[in-house]
Amino acid sequence: MKTRHPLIKKVILFLGFQIALFSSIANESAIAFKAGEKISYDLYYNWGLLWIHAGNAHFSAYHTTYKNQPSYLFSATGSSLKSFDKFFLVRDTFVSIINKETFLPTYYKRIVREDSYWAQDEYWFKNLNNNKVSVVTDCKRKKGERNIDTLSLHNSVTDLVTAIYKVRNSDFSKLKKNERITFSILFDDDDKQYDLSLTYLGKEQIELRNGQKYNCIKLKPQVIKGDVFKQEDAMTIWITDDPNRIPMMIEAKIRVGSLKVMLKNIINPKFPITSLQK
């Protein structure tokens, strides 16, 4: 990729970046969320024996209409705490619009500010008749040329925010332990489709920092080795083992220390969170 991937941003994005839909959603009553749902997360950074509350992330789902089609609008924001800004400042915003009937993305935008780095990307998706999608990309950077292009890709490709909500509609009961699923995602301004995978590791009960325990589905996404991760299996994700499929916790080992994302609050879930253990 042409642009860097800071540590805080990495974890915020990996709430959805490394997971994807295994099948299309045609029946709105079958989906795991509803418009009006809002989820917030706390991000912690560990260095030695010290855990630091470094940032927050927020996700929201809304009803909208896009090009005269009933759609969902997904919003995701990530930011470092003011107390952590002197170490690394993050102010990121992501918006994705998907068609309600096909659950395929139609529009995606991200605006990111990370210290002195700034970027604004927009994607317009147009599904074609041969299982292909035409994606117009318009990417701007604080320094460097504006990159405008048109890509022809398979229509299974998605953006990172849509991937968050798509994975929640997957039927994990059909998967065997250690079964691997492949998927594709667009990210950044390099006009590249990234083919990655997700491994199902079965079920496990986890405990959050507030002492509450949840029955979860355990997933191992493939990450990209490089400046942040030493190994491709450096991350683990837990989502609730109930109809909501809410991401509850993420752990990641990085080159310097480790990162953890934990659920802080959820407003207006579609189903009762039945996996909570008193």
**So what's the pLDDT on residue 226?**
53
Mean pLDDT of the chain: 82
Mean pLDDT for the stretch of residues 185-198: 76
Question: How many other C-beta atoms are found inside a 10 Å radius of the C-beta of residue 113?
Answer: 16
**So what's the pLDDT on residue 168?**
83
**So what's the pLDDT on residue 1?**
37
Q: Which two tokens stand for residue 116?
A: 């002195």
Residue 261 has pLDDT above 80, yes or no: yes
Which range (126-130, 144-148, 153-157, 221-225) has the least confidence? 221-225
Interval 238-247: pLDDT, tens? 999 998 999 9
Interval 80-109: pLDDT, tens? 999 989 888 989 999 999 999 888 899 999
**So what's the pLDDT on residue 231?**
62
Interval 30-85: pLDDT, tens? 688 999 999 999 999 887 778 899 999 999 999 999 999 999 999 999 999 999 89
pTM score, whole prediction: 0.84
